[in-house]
Amino acid sequence: MEKVCFKTKKGPAALGPYSTATIYGGVIYLSGMIGVNPQTGKAPEADMTYPVEYLADFTLYLGANAHYVNRYEEVVTFGHTNRANVFFGSTRYTIKSPVNRTPYGLDADMALAVLREFEDMTGDETVALGLDDAAIEKWGLYAYRVYYEMPFDCYTTTRADETVDYHYKRTVGYELLISEKQADGSRYVGSTQFDTVIKFKDGGIFDFAEWTFEERWAQSNLLLVSYEDLRSLVIDLNFSDGGDYSHVWAFDTAVDRAYRYETRYIENGVEKVSYTTGSRLFAALVDGGAHSDGLTSRELRNILRYRTGADTASHTEAGKLVLTNGYYEALTNEFRALDAIYGGRTDEKTSQYYDGATNFQTLLQIMNTTYYFGNVGDELTEGEIADLMADPKANVMTFAFTMRDADNKKTYYTIRFYTYSQHTLVRLTTENEQGDTLAEARDFYIQTREVRKIANAVVALTRGETIDNNRY
């Protein structure tokens, strides 16, 4: 009976007189393998509480057709980053490619669920040693491909606020080549890390390879912005709903992150005071005038000609907002503090929230709970989409966001809404400070009634009216 010894250069070298695997009598005998980098022979340094977060990149490809080919169509590439995405709920997962998908937020729950599978992924049977074209053809390993990079030489740093950041000096990439699900529910998977083909009796753990970007990978929320990360918002309305909705409004915001709330109460007939510290929003409104077709994102942002400066500073210069008794007052006629519009200015000693800030947060909540309804490509052709976006009358609403992340870096997002029938195409772009488009996406639509709801909320905010979440 022939004995075949097998060694691989893609794993750590043997430290003794043994082979990676030995085939004898139809049985594969595997030797142990320690967790070191095969290129350096060294083990990673980090003690990883959540090892899946150390996947630097995770890329999923779909086979181009039903036959074996050497090319794949990229579905999504995402990674884990230290810099939070403040536009999508401060998630630390980010879409890295394709470029036309990068403005979207990744569904972090879906990503984490997939990555968790990689923590203890174990096959049931080794069916082949060596991963070449013949093995790929024989076992049908051409349906899907997963590429992932694992960091090495990991280390941590701690910020002044005790936030821990994880870093690594380099990565090592591997691939999984995945077959279609077999009649018995199993799948065959080829691993470039171990140079083997493995049978998984429960092929369902790889069902994520069949997900489409629109159905599972993309976050369904339009946005998940926190008022604490927002620096300004310019809104251009061109929406007709029985009233004059054609107008441009600019909102300048500031946050006092160390605001002290005072509460007075009676205990045993004695008046007492308690204090709590939290974040407090201040917002001011600038009338940008009537809607003008074709305003660029940069032109919209330039409407906001005066800035508050630092988050918690008091300003006395002309054209700035001044913080007086916990309240921003306008020193020019350009600015109107939202709290003043609502008549909600109260004494500094009270713990009451100001109506203006409260209703501004409600507007953001409405935006945060607006969901993509479907794929616009299922309803419109590429030509129809191009015609729609070229029609200025179809662009019924534009939101230009200026955000600032935890590293004090500015980011710019613009959302334009193009209404057709009962649905509205959403065009999402990321931009630099000069207004140049970095990436653009327009895969999804929302229901037009949601646009109506948002427009109503904006108009109510500018008039000092309570925003009604149920008004369409």
Model confidence pLDDT, tens digit, residues 315-361: 333 334 444 433 334 434 456 777 777 775 444 544 444 578 889 99
pLDDT at 40 over 60: no
pLDDT at 213 over 50: yes
Can you tell me the mean pLDDT for 372-389?
Answer: 96
pLDDT, the chain, mean: 80
Lowest-confidence segment of 28-37, 54-63, 183-192, 314-323 by average pLDDT:
314-323
pLDDT at 312 over 90: no
Pairwise CA distance, residues 317 & 310, whole Å: 13
Amino acid 368: pLDDT: 95
pLDDT at 433 over 70: yes
**What are the DSSP calls for 25-81, one per residue?**
TTEEEE----S--TTT--------SSGGGG--EEEEEEESSSS--S-EEEEEEEEEE
Lowest-confidence segment of 227-236, 238-247, 445-454 by average pLDDT:
238-247
User: 170 with 42: CB under 8 angstroms?
Assistant: no
Pairwise CA distance, residues 122 & 118, whole Å: 9
Compute the radius of gyration of the chain from its Cα atoms.
28
Q: Say what the alpha-carbon torsion angle 35, 38, 42, 44 is, to the nearest 10 degrees.
A: -50
Amino acid 353: pLDDT: 46
Helix (H) or strand (E) holding 137: helix 133-138
Share of the chain above pLDDT 90, in %: 41
Amino acid 322: pLDDT: 45
Pairwise CA distance, residues 83 & 92, whole Å: 6
Can you tell me the mean pLDDT for 13-33?
Answer: 64
Amino acid 472: pLDDT: 54
Residue 287's closest CA among 218, 226, 336?
A: 336
Q: Which two tokens stand for residue 224?
A: 């998940």
Can you tell me the mean pLDDT for 203-216?
Answer: 94
> Under 8 Å CB-to-CB from 303, ≥6 apart: which residues?
234, 248, 250, 286, 288, 289
End-to-end CA distance of the chain: 79
Longest CA span, the chain: 97
Place of tokens 């205990």: 267
Q: Which two tokens stand for residue 373?
A: 């309804």
Lowest-confidence segment of 25-34, 90-99, 119-128 by average pLDDT:
25-34
Q: Describe the chain by its helix, strand, coil percentages, rounded to 5.
A: 20, 40, 40
DSSP code, position 204:
G
Q: pLDDT band at residue 468, thresholds of 50, 70 and 90?
A: confident
Q: Which residue type sits at 160?
A: A
The answer to whether the pTM exceeds 0.85 is no
Amino acid 308: pLDDT: 41
Pairwise CA distance, residues 110 & 113, whole Å: 5
Amino acid 302: pLDDT: 79
Helix (H) or strand (E) holding 255: strand 246-267
Pairwise CA distance, residues 299 & 248, whole Å: 11
Helix (H) or strand (E) holding 109: helix 108-117
Lowest-confidence segment of 9-13, 212-216, 261-265 by average pLDDT:
9-13
pLDDT at 226 over 80: yes
Amino acid 331: pLDDT: 37
Lowest-confidence segment of 54-63, 208-217, 223-232 by average pLDDT:
54-63
Which phi and psi angles does 129 have, rounded to 5°? -105, 130
Q: pLDDT band at residue 6, thresholds of 50, 70 and 90?
A: low
Amino acid 327: pLDDT: 38
Can you tell me the mean pLDDT for 434-459?
Answer: 93
Q: pLDDT band at residue 469, thresholds of 50, 70 and 90?
A: confident
Q: pLDDT band at residue 391, thresholds of 50, 70 and 90?
A: very high
Lowest-confidence segment of 59-63, 193-197, 307-311, 345-349 by average pLDDT:
307-311
**What are the DSSP calls for 91-154, one per residue?**
EEEEEEESGGGTTSPB-HHHHHHHHHHTTS---SEEEEES--HHHHHHTTTTSEEEEEEEEEEE
Q: Residue length, the chain?
A: 472
Helix (H) or strand (E) holding 338: helix 338-341
Amino acid 67: pLDDT: 53
Pairwise CA distance, residues 61 & 222, whole Å: 25
User: 457 with 242: CB under 8 angstroms?
Assistant: no
DSSP code, position 424:
E
Q: Are strands 327-330 and 321-324 parallel, antiparallel or unpaired?
A: antiparallel
Amino acid 364: pLDDT: 95
Which phi and psi angles does 89 have, rounded to 5°? 70, 25
Exposure class string for 223-236: b at 16+ Cβ within 10 A, else e: bbbbbebbbbbbbb
pLDDT at 245 over 80: no
Choose between 250 and 163: higher pLDDT: 250
Q: pLDDT band at residue 116, thresholds of 50, 70 and 90?
A: confident
Q: Which two tokens stand for residue 98?
A: 């394709």
Amino acid 434: pLDDT: 82
Q: pLDDT band at residue 240, thresholds of 50, 70 and 90?
A: confident
Residue 343's closest CA among 321, 364, 358?
A: 358
